[in-house]
A = this chain, B = another copy of it.
Amino acid sequence: MNDPTKVDAPLVDPDVVAQIKTWKGYVEAKLGFRNCWYPSLNSEEVEEGKPVPFLLAGEKLLLNRIDGKVYCMSDTCLHRGVPLSEKVECYSKDTITCWYHGWTYDFKDGKLCDILTDPNSKMIGNRALQTYQVEEAKGLLFIYLGDLDEGEQPPALERDVPPGFLEADRRVRPFRRQVNSDWRLGAENGFDTTHIFIHKDSKLIIGNETMLPLGFAPPPGKMNDLWDRVETDAGQQGVYDRLADHGVPHFEGKIDGEVVLKAIYGGDKRIAGEISLWMPGALKVDPFPDPEMIHFEWYVPRDEKSHWYVHCATKVVPGEQGDESFGREYDAVWKDMYAHGFNDDDIWAREATQDFYDDDYGWLDETLFESDACIIAWRKLASETNHGIQTRVRDRKR
């Protein structure tokens, strides 16, 4: 229980949590979820024998590649709590030695395997840093942010990525940015049907001969049918937005009955047909930004006030040269017009929302409307199907 004599404030205002009825767990998940896979660095960012720090869900982690395989361990020395990455000292392939007092950890199991300043210490072999399993897929390093018993295997990665992401021959270009907002404001920005309003003057519309409406009218009599909640055979938990899918798009904005704004007409391409959001926080837009492509993006909690925005342009390109070929296409066409030209606007929108939700009261003071039905569905799904709420490292020890 929350003890008011503590100096340290609780992670989330308990007064706000108490007032939320059906999606408490989501409000509590300011640092995201536990016991699930999150993408982190790109594969190519972690080279053999060169540990790299990464802040995930409030935890300082260290990733290293040993004989090709990537390992992940806490970056905080057990002894005096300093970051090992402050000055990297690796004296053997499998280990890192703390620069301060020589405590040496094995990347594979986190074990304190030696102490260079005192080889006879009884601590040796009897303490370990937290480690997390890493799986490499589609150019991303996924971390299983969860607790496993000795020998226990984590769930399959597939459970925690949107359907189709792992498809053979699907080529992925991951592009990670830090966004200074709560990860949930990222997820809701992406999934939110009517936020397309901010993209109405995106260079993608003209550049890609696209037709982008200003909004959608919910299908008449279908107010309770604006979303579908699904669980796949692989255990993936997601919500589909049916407003974007089945609603009536409109291309004119009216005030007092008069047309005041018309959508830019870039061409006849209809994109963004099917939009879905998946646990623990990944969007799928199929197709996007082109009829041949599927867009995936992750909102990975970084700390209480920021997230990693992992943007993935993808396309199925068969053949041995598929990666290289799609890479060239991405660099030439999509990086500027789509990753930047379209999604940069989402970044500043999320950051503009942070102030209102920063003290948790935004969850109570917001005013949602009909088109946000899919967001509420997502919040409930996230509350009900998560495998644990991530807390501060310090609180987990208590």
Q: Residues on A close to B: CB < 8 A?
A: 2-10, 12-15, 76, 78-83, 86, 91-92, 95, 97, 99-102, 104, 113-123, 127, 192, 194-198, 214-218, 250, 253-256, 258, 260-261, 348-349, 352-353, 355-357, 359-362, 365-371, 394, 397
A353–B117 Cα distance when bound, in Å, is: 19
Inter-chain contact B101/A352, CB cutoff 8 Å: no
Smallest beta-carbon distance A101→chain B, Å: 5
Besides A86-B348, A117-B194, 11 more A-B contacts (Cβ < 8 Å) are A5-B10, A6-B14, A7-B10, A7-B15, A79-B366, A81-B362, A82-B349, A117-B197, A118-B194, A127-B367, A359-B394
Question: Which of B82, B355, B369, B371 lies in contact with A356, CB distance below 8 A?
Answer: B82
Q: Which residue of B lies closest to A11 (CB)?
A: B7
Neighbouring B residues of A86 by C-beta, 8 Å: 348, 352
Question: Which of B256, B353, B394 lies in contact with A80, CB distance below 8 A?
Answer: B353
The 8 closest A-B pairs by CB, nearest first: A81-B356, A117-B215, A116-B253, A4-B4, A91-B260, A117-B194, A7-B13, A78-B367
Neighbouring B residues of A195 by C-beta, 8 Å: 100-101
Smallest beta-carbon distance A60→chain B, Å: 9
A356–B79 Cα distance when bound, in Å, is: 11
Inter-chain contact A118/B369, CB cutoff 8 Å: yes
Q: Which residue of B lies closest to A76 (CB)?
A: B356
Question: Which of B78, B118, B217, B361 lies in contact with A215, CB distance below 8 A?
Answer: B118
- Name 13 interchain pairs, CB-CB below 8 A, sorted by A: A7-B360, A8-B359, A76-B356, A79-B369, A81-B357, A91-B260, A92-B255, A95-B255, A100-B197, A115-B215, A116-B197, A117-B197, A117-B253
Neighbouring B residues of A366 by C-beta, 8 Å: 79-81
A369–B353 Cα distance when bound, in Å, is: 47
A372–B397 Cα distance when bound, in Å, is: 22
Smallest beta-carbon distance A361→chain B, Å: 5
A368 touching B81 in the complex, CB below 8 Å, given contacts A91-B253, A194-B117? no
A116 touching B214 in the complex, CB below 8 Å, given contacts A2-B5, A91-B253, A365-B397? yes
A394 touching B361 in the complex, CB below 8 Å, given contacts A91-B260, A116-B214, A370-B121? yes
